[in-house]
Amino acid sequence: MGHECQCAACREPGASITREKHAQLNTFLSGLDGERQMQFLGLESINPAHGSDEELAQITGISAAAIAKSRWQIQYRWLADMRSAHWRQFVYRENNHENAKGRSHEKGT
């Protein structure tokens, strides 16, 4: 059993969809190790429909600052991947250009 959400909806007596969702999220998180918990929350926080950092912090008991940091790490890694993909494409194109020049040169001789 993970953290128990303390949000207004969960403090109200009786079952609600919100309460069920928050409990399911915490049960899911309790099955992950610390690093995966942060990766999951970082991803969740990218989509505003899944809740703000503060909302996720209230549900999970993990600080909003830690969730924001995890999101930055995910987005930074994604940007770095994009740049290296672009770079690989550039190098590939340059190599092809060199090959084409080499072939035409062979033909000429």
Interface residue list for Zn ion (CB under 5 A): 5, 7, 10, 22
Closest CB to Zn ion among residues 22, 71: 22
Which element (helix H / strand E) includes 60? helix 53-60
Q: In whole angstroms, how close is the CB of 53 to Zn ion at the nearest point?
A: 15
3-class DSSP assignment, residue 56? helix
Please enumerate in sequence order all residues whose Cβ is within 8 A of that of 74, keeping only pairs 6 or more positions apart, or say none.
39, 42, 43, 46
Q: In whole angstroms, how close is the CB of 77 to Zn ion at the nearest point?
A: 30
Closest CB to Zn ion among residues 61, 74: 61
Q: In whole angstroms, how close is the CB of 60 to Zn ion at the nearest point?
A: 10
Closest CB to Zn ion among residues 6, 84: 6
Which element (helix H / strand E) includes 42? helix 34-46
Question: Tokens representing 37?
Answer: 């918990």
